[in-house]
Amino acid sequence: MNKLRHVISAQQLVDREFLDELFACAATLEQEDKLRVLEHPLRGRILATMFYEPSTRTRFSFEAAMQKLGGGVLTAENALDNSSASKGETIADTVRVVSGYADAIVLRHPQVGTAEIAAAASPVPIINAGDGAGEHPTQALIDVYTIHRELGRLEDLNIALVGDLRNGRTIHSLLPFLCRAPGISLTLISPPQLRLPGKYIQMLQAADTRFAETTRLARVQPADVVYVTRVQRERFDSEAEYEAVKDSYRIDLHVADSLKPQSIILHALPRTTEISPEVDQDARAAYFRQARNGLYVRMALLRYLLT
Amino acid sequence: MNKLRHVISAQQLVDREFLDELFACAATLEQEDKLRVLEHPLRGRILATMFYEPSTRTRFSFEAAMQKLGGGVLTAENALDNSSASKGETIADTVRVVSGYADAIVLRHPQVGTAEIAAAASPVPIINAGDGAGEHPTQALIDVYTIHRELGRLEDLNIALVGDLRNGRTIHSLLPFLCRAPGISLTLISPPQLRLPGKYIQMLQAADTRFAETTRLARVQPADVVYVTRVQRERFDSEAEYEAVKDSYRIDLHVADSLKPQSIILHALPRTTEISPEVDQDARAAYFRQARNGLYVRMALLRYLLT
Amino acid sequence: MNKLRHVISAQQLVDREFLDELFACAATLEQEDKLRVLEHPLRGRILATMFYEPSTRTRFSFEAAMQKLGGGVLTAENALDNSSASKGETIADTVRVVSGYADAIVLRHPQVGTAEIAAAASPVPIINAGDGAGEHPTQALIDVYTIHRELGRLEDLNIALVGDLRNGRTIHSLLPFLCRAPGISLTLISPPQLRLPGKYIQMLQAADTRFAETTRLARVQPADVVYVTRVQRERFDSEAEYEAVKDSYRIDLHVADSLKPQSIILHALPRTTEISPEVDQDARAAYFRQARNGLYVRMALLRYLLT
C-alpha cells in the first residue's frame, strides 16, 4: 500500500504489512519508554490538537505521544467556542491556517465527514480523532494492537462482541480488521434492540467471516477476546425496556471466572456499570493496558506520518 | 529608537530601522525553519498566553513561535472563566503573579487599554494580542512584513483598502506604517456607510499620503496590494442596506483576473464571502502565506524581546 | 519519615527534616534559575494537570515548575466539561487511564476527598492542588517556605493571622506547621463572626502553642509575620453586618507603617480590598515574592516525587 498522508478511516489501516510494521514500532517504543532510552525523532516538530468536542483522554494520549518523541504541542481543548468557526470560517480555511504552525493536526469534531474535508485542504497530515457518529480509526488500531500484543496473533481467534452493537462506534471500526484476519469466529451478543446493523452483517458475509448472533451473555465462555461496550439508557424506547436488559450484559466476577484463563476482556472506556470494578484485579481485564497501548500506537503512528 | 520592553501599540513599531532588522530576522528564521536547522535561543524560557477572549489561531501562532525557538509555553485558552478576575483581582495583580512564572506574557482582552495597564505592572514583556476595539499590533506587523516579503519593498506602492474601512481594526493599525513610507498611494474602497473615519483621513493628510475615496470596487485594478476586510451584516442599520452592498465588495475570479500579474491580495482572516474560494488558487492570493508569516514575525519579535 | 508517594494533605508535610531538605532544594533551584544554569532532571517525564475547577495561576505555577526541570505537560484547563466524568466515569478510572500517559498528576477538584480517592487508584504520584473546602497542601508549603526564606527561621516568631479565620483554608493548612515549631506565638485577629473554629483552637492547645484571640487589627503591631485573608461578603448574614466590619481588617499604609521594620506581610492572593495597593511598594509586602516562591517549592516537590 502507498504511504498514508492522512488517517481518516479504519479502512485505510487494514493492510497487514502496514499493521505489522506499525505494531513492531509500537512495541519497540514501549520497550524504550520503560527503559527511559527513547530517542527524539520528532524534535522541532509540532502537533496541533483541535478538539471541537472535548475528550481529555484522547487529547492527552496524542499529546503525550508527541512529547515523548521530542515534539511540541499546540492544544485547543475546546476549539468550538474559541475558533473562527463562530465567525463563519470553513474548516478548510481553519486547517490551512493551522497547518502553517503545525506539522500535523489531530481533529475531533461532532460532524461526520469533517476529517475528510480537512484532509482535502491540508498540506500536513490530518488524524481523525473522532467525527461524530463517524470514525475514530486510531481507537480501532489500539484495539487490534492490544489483541495482537496480549495474545500474540490476530488470526484463529474466537471473539465475542458484547453490548450495544447497533451504536458502538468502536465495534464498527474494528470489524474491517477482523474481516481481514483468517480463522476469526465472532459471537455477537446484544439485546434484540441493539443488534449489529445489516450493513455490517453483510460485510461479515462478504468476507466469509464466521459469526453467530445471540442475546445470551453466557455465550462469551469460549471466547479468546471479550470486547464490551456500554448499553446506554438513551438508546431504548422506554425505561422499562432498558431496565429489562441492562444487567444482562454486565461482566461481573462470575462471568469473568467462566472465561478461559488465557482470554482477555477489552473495553474502549469510559465504562460505567457494564464491567464490575471487582473484575479489574483479574489478569484477564486488559482494558487499562488497552488504554495505555494508545500511547504507543499513537507514538508509532506519529512517527510513521512525520518521518 | 530605544529597545522596546513591551509591544502594546502599532505606533511603537513604525521605526524603519527596527522593521528592517525584525524583517531580516523573520526571513532568516523562515529559511532555517524550512531547512530544519533552527537554533533554540529561548531554551529554558517560558511564554504565557492569557486569552480573556479566545482566539485559537493567534494563540497557536505565538505558541508555535515560542516552541520553535526552544521555549516552553503556559496556555490559558479561556482565562476569563478561569481566572482570579472572577474573584475581583485586578489585571495588574494577575500579571504580577504570572510574571513570576513566565518570561513574557501574550495578552488578549476584550477591554481597550488592558494591555497598557498590564505593561505598567509587569516586570516581563507584555505583548498585546488584541484589546477589544483597540489595537492588535503584531497583526499590523505581519501585514507590513507580507507586503515587504512579497513585493520586495514598502515604498512606491499603490494600495487598495477594500470593505469595511470604518471598523476594520487591522486597516487602522496598518495606516501608521503606510504613512511613513514614501510614494504610497491609497485607494479607499468602501460602501458609503463604512468609510474610513475622519481621524484616519486626517492622519493621511498630515503625512501627505496620497489617497482617493471611492465606492467602486473596479478601482482595485491598478493596485499592487489589495487589502480586503469583511463587510459585516451587523454594521448596517437595516438588512436591506446590507443586502444592497454586500456583493459589491467581493473579490471573485473576475475581479482577481483584472489585477496586475505582480499584485497581491491580503486578508487578515477569517474570511467568509468577501473573497471567493476559487481565488485561492491564484498566485496573487497571498492571505494564507500572510497567516504563515505570522509565525516568523512572532518568532522574530519574541527573539527581539527575550534576548 | 518514609518517602512520600502522593501529596494529599498538609499533615503529611510537617516533618522538619523533610522541610529542611525540600527548602534547601527550592533555594538552590531559585539560585540556578536566576543564573540560568538549571539542569533538566525531569527530561522525558510528563506532568498532567487536571483542573475540574479552574485556577490559572496554580496550574501555571505547576506547569512552569515542570517545564523548568525539563519535563513536558498535559493540561486540562477545564476538565469537568471535557471529561469522561460527564459519561459517568469514576475519578479512579480516569486517574488509572491518565497515569498511563503521565508520570504525575496534579488534581484540583471541587469535592473534598477526591485527591485521596485518586491517590488510592493511581500508580503515579497525585498532588492535591485543592479539593473544595478541603486541603491545598502545596500552598501551605509555600507559605512556610516564604516565612523561612524571608526571616531565616520558623521558630520564635510572633505571627498574626488576620481576617476570615473561620473559612480561610490557607490558614487552616498552615496551623499544623506552626504547631510543630518551638516558640511560636499566634495573634488571631478576626471579626467575632469569623473566629478560628474550635477544632483548630484545640489543635493549638494540644500542641501547647501560645495564642491570643482579638477583634482589634491594631494588635498586628508586634508581629514578625502578618498573614492576611479575605473577609468575604457572602460569609455574613446581612449586608449591614459585613459593612460594619469590612474596613476594620484592611492593611493600609498606616497599618503597614506601624509594623516592625523586619516584619513581613503575606497573602495567598488573589486579594481585593484587604490590602491596599499602596502597601505593595513597602519592602515588608512579601505576597508577590510568596507567589513566586510557589514556583521553586513546586519544582523542589516535583523533583522529590519524580527522582
Give the max Cα distance, chain C: 57
**Pairwise CA distance, residues C274 & C265, whole Å:** 12
In this complex, how many residue pairs, one in chain A and one in chain C, have their CB atoms less than 8 Å apart?
75
CA distances from A11 to A5, A15, A174, A175 (A): 14, 9, 10, 10
Residue A197 has pLDDT above 60, yes or no: yes
Residue B200 has pLDDT above 70, yes or no: yes
Q: For the complex shown, is ipTM > 0.85?
A: yes
For an interface test with A, give the residue of C43, C50, C80, C82 to mutate (most A CBs within 10 A).
C82
Which residue is closest to C287 within chain B, CA to CA?
A: B97
- Domains of chain C (ranges; CATH) run 10-135+294-306 (3.40.50.1370), 138-291 (3.40.50.1370)
Which residue is closest to A75 within chain B, CA to CA?
A: B60
Out of A36, A54, A63, the one facing C81 most closely (by C-beta) is A54
DSSP letter at B166 equals T
C-alpha cell read off for A299: 507514538
Out of B36, B56, B294, the one facing A83 most closely (by C-beta) is B56
C-alpha cell read off for C144: 512556610
Contacts of A28 (CB under 8 A, 6+ apart): none
pLDDT for the residue B134: 79
Out of C77, C272, C295, the one facing B101 most closely (by C-beta) is C295
Task: Determine, for residues C269 and B89 on separate chains, whether the beta-carbon distance falls below 8 Å.
Answer: yes
β strands within chain C, DSSP E: 46-51, 72-76, 104-109, 126-131, 158-162, 185-189, 210-214, 225-228, 264-267
CB B203 within 8 A of CB B179: yes
Task: Determine, for residues A55 and C96 on separate chains, whether the beta-carbon distance falls below 8 Å.
Answer: no
Task: Determine, for residues A38 and C44 on separate chains, whether the beta-carbon distance falls below 8 Å.
Answer: yes
A111-125, A237-251, A289-303, C66-80 — which is least confidently predicted?
Answer: A237-251
Cα torsion A163, A164, A166, A170: sign: negative
Alpha carbon of A83: minimum distance to chain B alpha carbons (Å): 6
**Pairwise CA distance, residues A224 & A156, whole Å:** 10
Task: Determine, for residues A79 and B56 on separate chains, whether the beta-carbon distance falls below 8 Å.
Answer: yes
Q: What is the mean pLDDT of chain B?
A: 94
Kindly list the catalytic residues of B. 57-58, 87, 108, 136
pLDDT for the residue B88: 79
pLDDT for the residue A235: 80
Which chains would you list as touching C if contact means 3+ CB atom pairs under 8 Å? A, B
pLDDT for the residue C238: 86
**Pairwise CA distance, residues B197 & B164, whole Å:** 11
Q: A58: exposed, middle or buried (C-beta count within 10 Å: 0-12, 13-18, 19+)?
A: buried
Contacts of B171 (CB under 8 A, 6+ apart): B161, B165, B196, B227, B229
Task: Determine, for residues B79 and C68 on separate chains, whether the beta-carbon distance falls below 8 Å.
Answer: no
Give C-chain residues touching A55 at CB under 8 angstroms: 82
Q: For chain B, list residues whose CB is within 8 angstroms of any CB belonging to chain C.
A: 44, 46, 48, 50, 72, 74-79, 81-84, 87-90, 92-94, 96-98, 100-102
Which chains would you list as touching B if contact means 3+ CB atom pairs under 8 Å? A, C
Kindly list the catalytic residues of C. 57-58, 87, 108, 136
Task: Determine, for residues B97 and C291 on separate chains, whether the beta-carbon distance falls below 8 Å.
Answer: yes
Give A-chain residues touching B167 at CB under 8 angstroms: none
Which of C277, C21, C255 minimizes the C-alpha distance to C141? C21
For an interface test with C, give the residue of B52, B73, B75, B101 to mutate (most C CBs within 10 A).
B101
C-alpha cell read off for A204: 461479515
Q: Active site includes A233?
A: no
Contacts of C146 (CB under 8 A, 6+ apart): C264, C266, C286, C289, C290, C293
% pLDDT > 70, chain C: 98
pLDDT for the residue C82: 59
Question: What type of residue sits at position B280?
Answer: D
What's this model's pTM, rounded to 2 decimal places? 0.95
Which residue is closest to B49 within chain C, CA to CA?
A: C60
C-alpha cell read off for A305: 506520518
Out of C78, C88, C94, the one facing A77 most closely (by C-beta) is C78
Task: Determine, for residues C57 and B94 on separate chains, whether the beta-carbon distance falls below 8 Å.
Answer: yes
B228-233 mean pLDDT: 87
| Helices A287-306, C91-98: crossing angle, 10 deg rounding | 40
Residue B86 has pLDDT above 80, yes or no: no
Catalytic residue among A59, A68, A108, A149: A108
**Pairwise CA distance, residues C305 & C4, whole Å:** 7
In this complex, how many residue pairs, one in chain A and one in chain B, have their CB atoms less than 8 Å apart?
76
Task: Determine, for residues C44 and A295 on separate chains, whether the beta-carbon distance falls below 8 Å.
Answer: no
Give B-chain residues touching C47 at CB under 8 angstroms: none
A179-183, A270-274, C204-208, C284-288 — which is least confidently predicted?
Answer: A270-274
Cα B168 → chain centroid:
11
C238-256 mean pLDDT: 89
CB B61 within 8 A of CB A101: yes
**Pairwise CA distance, residues B24 & A159, whole Å:** 62
B76-94 mean pLDDT: 80
Q: Active site includes A58?
A: yes
CB C302 within 8 A of CB C47: yes
Structure confidence at residue B82 as a pLDDT band (50, 70, 90): low
Alpha carbon of B135: minimum distance to chain C alpha carbons (Å): 25
Gyration radius from chain B CA atoms: 20
**Pairwise CA distance, residues A105 & B56, whole Å:** 13
Give B-chain residues touching A74 at CB under 8 angstroms: 60, 63-64
Supply angle C-alpha B290, B293, B299, rounded to 5.
155
Alpha carbon of C48: minimum distance to chain A alpha carbons (Å): 8
**Pairwise CA distance, residues C135 & C258, whole Å:** 33
Out of C72, C75, C82, the one facing A78 most closely (by C-beta) is C82
Alpha carbon of A24: minimum distance to chain B alpha carbons (Å): 28
Q: What is the mean pLDDT of chain A?
A: 94
- Coil/strand/helix, residue B116: helix
pLDDT for the residue B209: 97
pLDDT in tens, B137-151: 999 999 999 999 999
C-alpha cell read off for C24: 534547601
Residue A198 has pLDDT above 80, yes or no: yes
Task: Determine, for residues B270 and A77 on separate chains, whether the beta-carbon distance falls below 8 Å.
Answer: no
Out of A46, A82, A98, the one facing B67 most closely (by C-beta) is A46
Give A-chain residues touching B55 at CB under 8 angstroms: 82
C276-292 mean pLDDT: 97
B12-34 mean pLDDT: 97
Whether the link from the prior residue into B270 is cis, omega within 30° of 0, is yes
Out of C57, C75, C288, the one facing B75 most closely (by C-beta) is C75
N-term to C-term CA, chain C: 17
Give C-chain residues touching A278 at CB under 8 angstroms: none
C220-234 mean pLDDT: 92
pLDDT for the residue B232: 80
B117-122 mean pLDDT: 97
Contacts of B91 (CB under 8 A, 6+ apart): B85, B109, B114, B117, B118, B121
Q: What is the mean pLDDT of chain C?
A: 94
pLDDT in tens, A6-43: 999 999 999 999 999 999 999 999 999 999 999 999 99
Task: Determine, for residues A74 and B54 on separate chains, whether the beta-carbon distance falls below 8 Å.
Answer: no
Alpha carbon of C113: minimum distance to chain A alpha carbons (Å): 20
Q: Which residues are registered as beta bridge partners of B104?
A: B47
pLDDT for the residue A86: 67
**Pairwise CA distance, residues B153 & B144, whole Å:** 10
**Pairwise CA distance, residues C72 & B72, whole Å:** 9
Give C-chain residues touching A291 at CB under 8 angstroms: 96-97, 100
Which chains would you list as touching A if contact means 3+ CB atom pairs under 8 Å? B, C
Alpha carbon of A194: minimum distance to chain C alpha carbons (Å): 19
Contacts of C16 (CB under 8 A, 6+ apart): C180
Task: Determine, for residues A272 and C89 on separate chains, whether the beta-carbon distance falls below 8 Å.
Answer: yes
Question: What type of residue sits at position B228?
Answer: V
Residue B11 has pLDDT above 70, yes or no: yes
Task: Determine, for residues B79 and C56 on separate chains, whether the beta-carbon distance falls below 8 Å.
Answer: yes
Give C-chain residues touching A67 at CB under 8 angstroms: 46, 72
Task: Determine, for residues B60 and A76 on separate chains, whether the beta-carbon distance falls below 8 Å.
Answer: yes
For an interface test with A, give the residue of B29, B55, B57, B146 to mutate (most A CBs within 10 A).
B57
Catalytic residue among A87, A199, A272, A307: A87
